């Protein structure tokens, strides 16, 4: 028993902790920064004021995690972010393809607590900062109400990933709130004050069918008159969760200090909306529905943005400007909302896409005036317009990873964040990020420690891509469809497809390419042809183009018809080859052609994107000359996803257990092998609500074996679903030959591999 005598006051329990890096905020930016830094060897403290990780992605708020794939609604092919966020999304899709938000929580927590270098403080809010000098943070104080403990957390480096930027704000970092004027950065899409300069908060609700009628009595504070919401007719009994993102409010208020006020208004709206659905008599289908969950913590979109040495701006996104210090990338549209939110007469958002993904420079990821403060998440150094794109969570996570790795390098080199902009450090930072799965557009991995770079490669087979069997369903040509085919210099496409016509008609065919070699927007038409089709089935249509490609890139063979035509598809699927549909994804675009108003600095172009599985089959075809672009050498080219080429070794369809062999002239000591598989970087893997048809990606090898020259099995995995396999051998081996044997995903999908790397040490 504890007894105590009365006294005037008592002190809280105080715990002083120190580490290499303190990260404030456990949203996806902070969480991915913490895991990356901890894996890179730093002692990290991650402080999160709520009971679980994920911020807006957690079960408390329930937003689906999105990024450059843009819901599969623009032309950013194979654009899902790499590294830790990829690992999280792939794992979530594997374990939780139904999109249960609680499972997302478990995965994030599991990833964090599995890191021995990471100290996780949940339910612990940072509220005070101590500085060593005007430009340096020394420590922060945080309080956990659950264990009534005060923490003092000291470190040489800090990262603010708190969304509102509590640490940067208190420590005196330069920041902004509200929109920049058009003139400051020459941003033509800068909003007017009338449209609004801040995005508001939102609260979601989930419903459940109880199987019998349920009544609903709204609380007194619920909105009584639904017509106060100009778009009230759009509510229906089916949509819930993040589909109702436009229940938004607060863009005219102080989105930091008025948050509680905004929350009450959002509750008023949510319960008013539910009252309308349950009690207006307009939705008999809602009779058995009950409210299963209503958010209690509003999802915050925007508040402070901090200033780094560079501010990302509209032109960086639209023109996809290159930066020597690129460490991450974005690809969501520039997505601004009217400040009046749900009470606005205007559409809930104004989204403008770029023709491809854009690099994010490292100079946006640290404070310009505090020497030891990194920025991660939505608060990075970006203008209001650029923030409209960089704010989505997979992008926040990707920049968080760059920060985590940068912090590790800073500690190793004993330098402060700004010093990493020096060329030699930047090359190291980019290399380390690429080694851990980060994708940086235009920056291939050059890794001198990788023994595979010195090996001679052979493969049991290399796909000579000559056909996609006509064994799939017929595809009606209501919209334009295209096959996205990789080509190299000297290729002239000559192919046959199979069509069926309900009446005599014309099939229009176009050969297109993208104006930028690494984009997938078919904005350059190279050739046009027309074929007359007679009424009837199974008509072979030969399409021979004159155009000869002069570099490695993707070609678009586009087909247009009048609705009478159906094309035969194939059940065969293949890494780096896709069928695309010219259509709008209403979740992120208003029409199949982006048509911005004049003078907002945004391009007009067409959207062509794949359909989600289980549909989205390739168009069956036969090539007169096979495309030999899937050779074993691709695993050494430093790019671990399709870009302007598939960048994968792909075996023949017929091989169930193909083998790639690495041979060295002298015996090598190998302690660690890394493999990169195809987990479909085109798949956005929305984390909640939506659900997905499969947990394991169809292009991912089922398993693998590593064997030495004597045929001894060094490592084996029968259940591969992740993108990266990091194999630390139980004992290093000395060998002249390493065989990597893959188990083909399925009879209709050949085995593929993006990367093999071998190291002499377990921790290179
Ligand atoms: C309604 C809505 C819809 C959106 N739609 C999407 C979408 O569909 N997909 C998408 O990817 N993005 C979407 N976004 C954007 C995205 O959710 C945010 O931009 C993103 O969550 C920002 O990530 P973050 O890590 O910076 O911040 P957050 O996710 O907010 O995480 C910050 C964390 O820091 C914690 N924190 C704050 N203060 C402290 C403190 N003092 N001490 C310790 N911890 C603290 C917070 O509790 C929080 O968990 C949407 C946003 C909103 C609000």
Ligand 1 centroid–CA 107 distance in Å is: 17
Side-chain-side CA neighbours of 310 within 13 Å: the count stands at: 17
**Closest atom, ligand 1, to C-alpha of 376:** 26
Ligand 1 atom 3: residue of nearest CA: 245
Residue 677, Ramachandran bin (φ over 0: left; ψ between -120 and 50: alpha; else beta): beta
Ligand 1 centroid–CA 396 distance in Å is: 9
Q: Where are the alpha helices (DSSP H) in 482-609?
A: none
Ligand 1 atom 25: residue of nearest CA: 27
Ligand 1 centroid–CA 538 distance in Å is: 53
Ligand 1 centroid–CA 312 distance in Å is: 19
Both tokens assigned to 660: 């790639």
Ligand 1 centroid–CA 379 distance in Å is: 10
pLDDT at 459: 98
For residues 737-744, give the mean pLDDT. 98
Q: Which of 394, 311, 408, 409 is nearest to 360 (CA)?
A: 311
For residues 479-506, give the mean pLDDT. 97
Q: How many residues does the chain have?
A: 764
Ligand 1 centroid–CA 58 distance in Å is: 9
Banded pLDDT at 503 (limits 50, 70, 90): very high
Ligand 1 centroid–CA 40 distance in Å is: 25
Ligand 1 centroid–CA 64 distance in Å is: 11
pLDDT at 467: 98
Ligand 1 surroundings by CB, under 6 angstroms: 24-30, 47-50, 55-56, 63-66, 125-126, 161-164, 166, 201-202, 242, 245, 299-301, 377-378, 391-394, 396
pLDDT at 282: 95
Ligand 1 atom 21: residue of nearest CA: 56
CB atoms within 10 A of CB 126: 24
- Asked if pLDDT for residue 354 goes beyond 90, the answer is yes
**Closest atom, ligand 1, to C-alpha of 395:** 11
Ligand 1 atom 35: residue of nearest CA: 25
Both tokens assigned to 756: 């093999």
Contact 736, 663 (CB under 8 A): yes
Ligand 1 centroid–CA 377 distance in Å is: 8
Query: From start to end of 611-658, where are the E strands?
Result: 618-619, 621-627, 649-650
Contact 732, 716 (CB under 8 A): no
Strand partners, 540: 498
**Ligand 1: which of 24, 393, 585, 587 to mutate, judged by most atoms within 8 Å of the beta carbon?**
393
pLDDT at 562: 86
**Ligand 1: which of 27, 99, 263 to mutate, judged by most atoms within 8 Å of the beta carbon?**
27
pLDDT at 479: 85
Both tokens assigned to 44: 């990290």
For residue 438, what are the CA distances in angstroms to 49, 70, 115, 404, 483? 28, 18, 19, 12, 28
pLDDT at 245: 86
Ligand 1 atom 24: residue of nearest CA: 377
Q: Where are the alpha helices (DSSP H) in 436-510?
A: none
For residues 607-623, give the mean pLDDT. 97
Q: Alpha-carbon distance 677 to 35, whole Å? A: 21
Ligand 1 atom 5: residue of nearest CA: 63
CB atoms within 10 A of CB 86: 26
Side-chain-side CA neighbours of 653 within 13 Å: the count stands at: 13
pLDDT at 3: 79
pLDDT in tens, 238-266: 888 888 888 999 999 999 999 999 999 99
**Ligand 1: which of 28, 56, 304 to mutate, judged by most atoms within 8 Å of the beta carbon?**
56
Banded pLDDT at 6 (limits 50, 70, 90): confident
pLDDT in tens, 463-484: 999 999 999 999 999 889 999 9
Ligand 1 centroid–CA 196 distance in Å is: 20
Give the percent of the chain with pLDDT over 90: 94
Ligand 1 atom 37: residue of nearest CA: 162
Ligand 1 atom 27: residue of nearest CA: 163
pLDDT at 563: 84
For residues 403-426, give the mean pLDDT. 98
How would DSSP label each residue in 440-455? -TT-----TT-GGGGS
For Cα atoms 161, 166, 170, give the angle at the middle one, nearest 5 degrees: 130
Ligand 1 centroid–CA 522 distance in Å is: 34
**Closest atom, ligand 1, to C-alpha of 25:** 34
For residues 138-159, give the mean pLDDT. 98
**Closest atom, ligand 1, to C-alpha of 248:** 1
pLDDT at 408: 98
For Cα atoms 156, 157, 162, give the angle at the middle one, nearest 5 degrees: 140
Ligand 1 centroid–CA 392 distance in Å is: 9
Ligand 1 centroid–CA 164 distance in Å is: 9
CB atoms within 10 A of CB 228: 12
Ligand 1 atom 23: residue of nearest CA: 377
Ligand 1 centroid–CA 31 distance in Å is: 11
pLDDT in tens, 198-214: 999 999 999 999 999 99
**Ligand 1: which of 25, 170, 331 to mutate, judged by most atoms within 8 Å of the beta carbon?**
25
DSSP 3-state percent helix, strand, coil across the chain (nearest 5): 20, 30, 50
- Asked if pLDDT for residue 422 goes beyond 80, the answer is yes
pLDDT at 478: 86
Ligand 1 centroid–CA 194 distance in Å is: 26
Ligand 1 atom 51: residue of nearest CA: 301
Ligand 1 centroid–CA 60 distance in Å is: 11
**Closest atom, ligand 1, to C-alpha of 65:** 11
**Closest atom, ligand 1, to C-alpha of 56:** 29
For residues 627-639, give the mean pLDDT. 98
Ligand 1 centroid–CA 295 distance in Å is: 14
**Closest atom, ligand 1, to C-alpha of 67:** 11
- Asked if pLDDT for residue 2 goes beyond 80, the answer is no
**Closest atom, ligand 1, to C-alpha of 301:** 53
How would DSSP label each residue in 373-417? EEE-GGGSSB-HHHHHHHTSHHHHHHHHHHHHHHHHHHHHHT--G
Give the percent of the chain with pLDDT over 70: 100
The continuous run of DSSP H or E covering 108 comes out as: helix 101-113
Ligand 1 centroid–CA 262 distance in Å is: 16
**Ligand 1: which of 50, 63, 389 to mutate, judged by most atoms within 8 Å of the beta carbon?**
63
Ligand 1 centroid–CA 301 distance in Å is: 7
**Rg of the chain over all Cα atoms, to the nearest angstrom:** 27
Q: Which of 396, 416, 395, 429 is nearest to 325 (CA)?
A: 429
**Closest atom, ligand 1, to C-alpha of 199:** 53
For residues 700-719, give the mean pLDDT. 96
Q: Alpha-carbon distance 32 to 55, whole Å? A: 12
For Cα atoms 67, 71, 73, give the angle at the middle one, nearest 5 degrees: 115
Q: Alpha-carbon distance 754 to 751, whole Å? A: 11
- Asked if pLDDT for residue 446 goes beyond 90, the answer is yes
* pTM metric for this prediction: 0.97
For residues 317-329, give the mean pLDDT. 98
For residues 591-595, give the mean pLDDT. 96
Ligand 1 centroid–CA 298 distance in Å is: 10
**Closest atom, ligand 1, to C-alpha of 302:** 19
Q: Residue 489: is it exposed, middle or buried by C-beta count within 10 angstroms (0-12/13-18/19+)? A: exposed
């Amino acid at each position: 028993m504890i007894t105590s005598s009365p006294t005037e006051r008592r002190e809280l329990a105080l715990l002083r902790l120190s580490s290499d890096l303190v990260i404030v905020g456990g949203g996806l930016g902070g969480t991915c920064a913490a895991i990356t830094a901890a894996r890179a060897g730093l002692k990290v403290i991650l402080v999160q004021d709520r009971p679980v990780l994920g911020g807006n992605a957690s079960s408390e708020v329930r937003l689906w995690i999105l990024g450059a794939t843009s819901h599969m609604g623009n032309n950013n092919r194979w654009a899902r972010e790499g590294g830790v966020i990829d690992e999280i999304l792939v794992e979530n899709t594997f374990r939780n393809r139904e999109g249960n938000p609680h499972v997302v929580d478990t995965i994030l927590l599991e990833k964090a607590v599995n890191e021995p270098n990471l100290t996780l403080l949940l339910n612990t809010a940072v509220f005070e900062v101590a500085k060593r000098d005007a430009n340096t943070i020394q420590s922060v104080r945080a309080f956990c109400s659950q264990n009534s403990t005060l923490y003092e957390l000291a470190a040489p480096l800090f990262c603010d990933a708190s969304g509102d930027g509590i640490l940067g704000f208190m420590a005196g970092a330069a920041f902004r709130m509200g929109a920049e004027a058009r003139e400051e950065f020459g941003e033509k899409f800068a909003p007017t004050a009338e449209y609004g300069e801040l995005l508001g908060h939102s609260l979601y609700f989930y419903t459940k069918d109880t199987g019998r009628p349920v009544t609903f009595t709204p609380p007194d504070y619920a909105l009584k008159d639904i017509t106060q919401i100009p778009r009230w007719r759009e509510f229906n009994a089916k949509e819930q969760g993040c589909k109702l993102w436009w229940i938004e409010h607060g863009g005219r208020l102080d989105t930091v200090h008025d948050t509680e006020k905004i929350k009450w208004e959002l509750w008023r709206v949510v319960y008013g909306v539910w009252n309308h659905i349950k009690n207006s008599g307009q939705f008999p289908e809602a009779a058995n529905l009950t409210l299963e969950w209503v958010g209690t913590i509003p999802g915050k979109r925007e508040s402070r943005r901090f200033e780094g040495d560079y501010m990302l701006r509209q032109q960086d996104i639209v023109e996809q400007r290159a930066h020597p210090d690129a460490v991450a990338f974005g690809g969501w549209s520039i997505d601004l909302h009217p400040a009046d939110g749900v009470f606005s007469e205007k559409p809930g958002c104004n989204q403008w896409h770029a023709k491809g993904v854009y690099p994010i420079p490292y100079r946006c990821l640290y404070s310009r005036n505090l020497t030891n403060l990194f920025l991660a998440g939505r608060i990075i150094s970006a203008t209001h317009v650029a923030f409209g794109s960089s704010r989505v969570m997979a992008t926040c996570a990707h920049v968080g990873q760059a920060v985590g790795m940068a912090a590790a390098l800073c500690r190793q080199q004993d330098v402060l964040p700004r010093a990493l902009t020096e060329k030699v450090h930047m090359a190291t930072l980019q290399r380390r990020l690429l080694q851990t799965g980060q994708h940086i557009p235009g920056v291939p991995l050059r890794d001198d420690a990788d023994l595979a770079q010195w090996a001679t490669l052979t493969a049991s087979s290399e796909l000579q891509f000559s056909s996609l069997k006509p064994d799939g369903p017929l595809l009606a040509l209501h919209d334009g469809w295209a096959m996205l085919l990789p080509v190299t210099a000297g290729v002239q496409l000559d192919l046959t497809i199979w069509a069926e016509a309900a009446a005599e008609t014309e099939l229009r065919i176009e050969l297109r390419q993208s104006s930028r070699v690494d984009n997938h927007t078919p904005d350059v038409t190279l050739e046009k042809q027309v074929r007359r089709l007679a009424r009837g089935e199974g008509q072979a249509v030969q399409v021979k183009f004159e155009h000869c490609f002069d570099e490695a890139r993707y070609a678009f063979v586009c087909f247009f018809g009048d609705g009478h035509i159906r094309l035969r598809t194939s059940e065969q699927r293949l890494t780096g080859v896709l069928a695309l549909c010219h259509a709008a994804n209403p979740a992120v675009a208003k029409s199949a052609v982006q048509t911005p108003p004049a003078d907002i600095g945004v391009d007009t172009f067409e959207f062509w994107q794949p359909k989600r599985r289980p549909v989205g089959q390739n168009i069956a075809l036969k090539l007169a000359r096979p495309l030999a672009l899937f050779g074993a050498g691709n695993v050494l080219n430093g790019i671990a996803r399709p870009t302007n080429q598939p960048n994968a070794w792909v075996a023949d369809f017929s091989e169930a257990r193909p083998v790639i062999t690495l041979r060295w002239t002298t015996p090598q000591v190998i302690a660690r092998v890394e493999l990169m598989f195809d987990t479909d970087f085109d798949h956005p893997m929305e984390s909640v609500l939506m659900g997905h048809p499969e947990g394991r990606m169809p292009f991912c090898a089922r398993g693998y074996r590593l064997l030495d020259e004597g045929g001894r099995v060094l490592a084996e995995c029968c259940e591969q679903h992740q993108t990266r396999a990091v194999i630390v051998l139980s004992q290093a081996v000395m060998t002249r030959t390493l065989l990597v044997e893959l188990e083909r995903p399925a009879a209709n999908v050949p085995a593929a591999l993006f990367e093999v790397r071998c190291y002499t040490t377990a921790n290179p």
